[in-house]
Amino acid sequence: MTFDAAAFRKNFPVLFTPVNGKDYYYFDTAATSLKPKCVADRLQHYYLYEVANIHRGSHYLGRLGTEHYEAVREKAKNFINASSSEEIVFVRGVTEAINLLAYTYGDTFNAQDTVVVSSYEHHSNVVPWVLLKQRRNCQLAVLNYNDDGSISDEEIQRVLKLHPRILSLQVYSNVTGVRFDVEKILSAFAKTETITVLDAAQCVLHEKINVQKWNCDFLTFSGHKMFGPFGAGVLFGKKERLQKLPPFMGGGSMISQVGWDQLVLQDAPYKFEAGTPNIADVIGFGEALDFISNYGIESWQEHTRNLVTTLENALQNMPKIKVIGPAANGVRKADIVSFIYEGAHPSDVGEILDQMGIAVRAGHHCAQPLMKKLGIAGTVRVSFAPYNLKSDVDFLVQALQKTGEIL
């Protein structure tokens, strides 16, 4: 059946709420997705009728909250095809997950140890490793992709010879939307001792994740990128990896026995979830997982990719606009189009579009090393979701033409 975007968008009341007296056109899903009413309703229901602390309560609402909270762990397991819910650690998001790995593994690093990231990474997958380099005097190396997201055999061999302890990479670029050939890289490292980490923040609405097929050691994503609340995300880790890893923080819930001289830790995943958890947002995240499952990511892929192609084709006819990164034709992309407007700062373009009711992202998108590599200060980024319509793209194109007149 053809995906009905007009019906789908009815789940998002904000799209029918005027902004500055104008219709609202939201093209900033790569920063955060809009939230469907069912997710907001679930959060409100929890706070009004179910609120209680979990895991230790002997009363009804405490038990009910525990049941609902742990059910989300199972939903997340199924969403990425993990082998066990014990491989699902709840975190605030990708940033916390990568810091967890940088601090726990990093405590044993020295000058002979190397971490490898790519030149395309978001700051959440750069800054924790730079801090580790400063803290432990270890090495930080950069993997270089081809412009279309592929990688040469020579580059893989170069990185293999570094014998990195950790290899941490995005699946999709949050700037250009290009899909990297992570399968080829993971396959090359499969028989090494390197710990492989995937940042799937921009992947979650664009393709089904299968951690068993990819055979990565760790993978992380944030709920707010996939119709869920802020502050709830997932770190997947292979069970044997998590069991050997020390805890990131200490406190209640992550221990079974406490003494002045000795601690007995809980097994994974609980030893990584110290303190009172973010109960409501995790439960709301579970509602978002149900929402996505009810539709299926495959149902809207053609729709959103057509939006990308439509915009890219229109931009090619605008002489002062240059698309950054490869076009969607023949290249798998997240639903992102980044461009620069010659002679104008991206922020100026973003502000003009905002006055027309259009929300885009303008700047370096937390990817300053990539911007330096590209030789630009930033881009205007348009990112789509299934709630966008072709008529939205048509309006955006008209607005960009008018922006050119204003500039």
* Residue 379, beta-bridge partner list: 363
Nearest to 374 by CA among 340, 351, 346: 340
Cα separation, 69 vs 75, whole angstroms: 10
Find, among 117, 167, 123, 172, the residue nearest to 148 by Cα: 172
Beta partners for residue 303, in sequence order: none
Angle of helix 279-295 relative to helix 297-315, nearest 10 degrees? Answer: 80
Helix (H) or strand (E) holding 158, with range, is helix 153-160
Fold classified for 5-30+297-406: Aspartate Aminotransferase, domain 1 (3.90.1150)
Most distant CA pair in the chain, distance? 71
Residue 1 has what pLDDT?
65
CA atoms of 286 and 5, how far apart (whole Å): 23
Query: Domain limits of the chain?
Result: 5-30+297-406, 41-293
At 393 the pLDDT is 98
Structure tokens at 70: 């742990």
d(Cα 29, Cα 307) in Å, to the nearest integer?
A: 14
What is d(CA 335, CA 207) in angstroms, rounded to the nearest whole number? Answer: 11
Is-contact 270 254, C-beta < 8 A?
Answer: yes
Name residue 362's beta-bridge partners. 380
Per-residue pLDDT, 389: 98
Q: What is the pLDDT of residue 327?
A: 83
CB neighbour list of residue 92: distance below 8 Å, 6 or more residues apart: 231, 232, 233, 278
Profile the chain (407 residues) by mean pLDDT over runs of 10 residues.
93 94 96 98 98 88 95 98 98 98 96 97 98 98 93 98 98 96 97 97 96 98 98 98 94 88 89 94 98 96 96 93 88 94 94 96 95 94 98 97 90
The span from the CA of 381 to the CA of 237, in Å, is 31
CA pair distance 278, 72, nearest whole angstrom: 12
CB atoms inside a 10 Å sphere around CB 329: 10
User: Per-residue pLDDT tens for 67-88?
Assistant: 999 999 999 999 999 999 999 9
**CB of 160 within 8 A of CB of 188?**
yes
Report the C-alpha gap between 244 and 258 in whole angstroms.
Answer: 20
Are the CB atoms for 311 and 396 separated by under 8 Å? Answer: yes
**Strands 218-222 vs 195-199: parallel, antiparallel or unpaired:** parallel
Instruction: List residues with catalytic annotation.
Output: 366
CA distance 232 to 73: 11
Whether 220 contacts 204, CB under 8 Å: no
Spatial distance between the Cα atoms of 330 and 404, rounded to a whole number of angstroms: 30
Q: What is the DSSP string of 183-217?
A: HHHHHHHTTSS-EEEEE-TTTTTTS---HHHHT-S
DSSP β-bridge partners for residue 288: none
Q: Are 381 and 337 in contact (CB under 8 A)?
A: yes
Which two three-digit tokens encode residue 379? 């881009």
CATH topology of domain 41-293: Aspartate Aminotransferase; domain 2 (3.40.640)
Q: Which helix (H) or strand (E) element contains residue 255?
A: strand 255-258
Q: Quote the CA–CA distance of 73 and 185 in Å, as a whole number.
A: 28
